[in-house]
Amino acid sequence: MEKTNKMTTGKVSGIIANLVYVEVDGPVQQNEICYIDLEGTKLMAEVIKVMGTKAYVQVFESTRGLKMHNKVEFTGHLLEVTLGPGILSKNYDGLQNDLDKMEGVFLQRGEQTNPLEDDKKWEFKPIAKEGDILQAGGWLGEVTENWMPHKIMVPFKFKGKYTVKSVAKEGKYTIKDVIAVVTDEEGKEIELTMTQKWPVKLAIKAYKEKPRPFKLLETGVRVIDTLNPIAEGGTGFIPGPFGTGKTVLQHALSKQAEADMIIMAACGERANEVVEIFTEFPELIDPRSGRKLMERTTIIANTSNMPVAAREASVYTAMTIAEYYRAMGLKVLLLADSTSRWAQALREMSNRMEELPGPDAFPMDLPAIISSFYSRAGFVYLNNGNTGSITFIGTVSPAGGNLKEPVTESTKKAARCFYALSQQRADSKRYPAIDPLDSYSKYAEYAEVEEYFRKKIDPEWPEKLSLLRNVLTRGREVAEQINILGDDGVPVEYHVTFWKAEVIDFIILQQDAFDEVDSSTSLERQKYMVNKVLDIYHTKFSFESFEEVATYFKRVINQMKQMNYSEFESDKFKQNEKELKTIIDEKKAE
């Protein structure tokens, strides 16, 4: 049934926590926004199910005090975000309210803020000119947001082709000023400003469908770039129990990854973890520009004490903003922490609607929901020939570190990279605590990726990585045998095998996120150090006892650590390398 000009209204007919039943007097649609009147306070809600004259709506705020027959007004539009200059450096909640504009310690019910600054003037530079033919996402002009180029685009909801009739001259304008006039295929004139709105649960499409070449996203984290690489525009996730270093790893990726813009989605986090993001991120220095990292970052914050419905909205809001910046030809890195709490919100709402439960009471279609969301990331060719990308890395917080639970298993099917954080590695202070053998990158399995590595890094790179994994596997097996039989219960060669694996662990897998040099490692340096540890693996040593093996390899590891802490190919680096050669020659077999 098509909607009429008259807005649909309704009355509350049932309340189950944040799920409210509404008897409606007209047509409503899935995901439509409505407002429930609670004694003058407007509570925002979203339609999640429609059955006859009854609409099931999830309320984004507390329903305390809500009563039967409270009035409900439907807006006729879906849950949307406002897109335009001024998003960078902002702290939003899941509904894109500007948290810095809100007063008090706690969010007030019914309080909404403008996500952008209506009165701020931006220096506009036209890109399009009169007579140009543009489609949705076409670039009209550009403003400088902080120090990033922010493209002003034809609204994404426009269909067909549009002819530019006029574009504003270079100068200062607010986001409400008309900066262009276009005509559609029927000759109708449309005035455009710097802003537009887009429903968060509909993917933005302003690009062409065509195959693309593989390109590695360099993160500076050795255990990722070397052993489990992620593609630009790729997807990955980081499961791990509490205390295994998810937050520090995300901070490292934010600072060092080869991305133009960072979006942090704190989805259902505990309040203290969100406070850490708000206090630490503004202080982080961007190593690429020397400026504050926050200048190219947007935070979508949603704490665990907020209603569960707001958690669901936050991840979609973050992804939609990422798609907006991707359409500008930028590389966007989207980090979500934690998608487990998003899934928990889905479970709670599903249970309240009395739907048939799946494993652990999660919705039956949880794998499809997660896959659909992850599929919105990717590398794209824009209609104007430029490229943009969204690389999405989510974290999962499985209860008790159980990696077999439904959220982890469902995410495994969607994400191409799996970075399993190990409690054992974290307890032994081996950070980042990514288990090199349980983790994987499906990108490494593709023939074109293997070819990319052979051309860009090393002709024998795939074979060297395979050897690294084999050495680590053998080292773990030997460690278990030593634990069972004792140090003197196995041959000396077993100890040598174990310690050669430890060299790889300490020098390649482990990394100091707080050291200025070791926190980020270039691909060239990673290649150099991988060759160095493999040279040691291939070297034959002569030892009299297992005690001698441990003492010797600890010296080797300490010397190579000094190389990791030195600027690559500096005098200090070369001196440490020279000293390492001296140590190796001491025990090299004749």
What would the CATH number be for the domain defined by 9-78? Answer: 2.40.10.170
Flag whether pLDDT at 3 surpasses 50.
no
Which pLDDT does position 432 carry in this prediction? 95
- Evaluate whether 213 touches 381 at the Cβ level (below 8 Å): no
Contact residues for 568 (Cβ-Cβ < 8 A; gap 6+): 522, 524, 525, 528
Which pLDDT does position 514 carry in this prediction? 87
Q: Domain 222-444 belongs to what topology?
A: Rossmann fold (3.40.50)
Contact residues for 426 (Cβ-Cβ < 8 A; gap 6+): 240, 243, 244, 245, 433
Give the pLDDT band of residue 272 (cuts 50, 70, 90).
low
Query: How far does the chain reach from its first CA to its final CA, in angstroms?
Result: 87
Bridge-based pairing state of the strands 235-239 and 387-396: parallel
- Evaluate whether 92 touches 317 at the Cβ level (below 8 Å): yes
Condensed to tens digits (0 to 9), the pLDDT of residues 108-137 reads 888 889 999 999 999 999 999 999 999 999
Which pLDDT does position 590 carry in this prediction? 67
What would the CATH number be for the domain defined by 122-196? Answer: 2.40.50.100
Which pLDDT does position 365 carry in this prediction? 94
Which pLDDT does position 177 carry in this prediction? 97
Give the pLDDT band of residue 85 (cuts 50, 70, 90).
very high
Q: Which residues pair with 396 in a beta bridge?
A: 239
Condensed to tens digits (0 to 9), the pLDDT of residues 134-187 reads 999 999 999 999 989 999 999 999 999 999 999 999 999 999 999 999 999 999
Condensed to tens digits (0 to 9), the pLDDT of residues 387-407 reads 999 999 999 988 878 889 999
- Evaluate whether 397 touches 267 at the Cβ level (below 8 Å): no
Which pLDDT does position 271 carry in this prediction? 61
Helices H / strands E in the chain, number of each: 14, 26
Quick one: CA dihedral 348, 47, 339, 62, positive or negative? negative
- Evaluate whether 254 touches 284 at the Cβ level (below 8 Å): yes
Region 19-23: mean pLDDT is: 96
Q: When comparing pLDDT for 271 and 427, which is higher?
A: 427
For the 461-587 domain, the top CATH level (class) is mainly alpha
Region 361-383: mean pLDDT is: 94
Region 83-111: mean pLDDT is: 88
What are the sequence ranges of the domains in the chain?
A: 9-78, 122-196, 222-444, 461-587
Which pLDDT does position 307 carry in this prediction? 74
- Evaluate whether 7 touches 25 at the Cβ level (below 8 Å): no
Average pLDDT over all residues of the chain: 92
Alpha-carbon distances, residue 143 vs 115, 151, 171, 289 (angstroms): 18, 7, 10, 19
CA nearest to 375, candidates 386, 365, 367: 367
Contact residues for 61 (Cβ-Cβ < 8 A; gap 6+): 43, 44, 109, 110, 307, 310
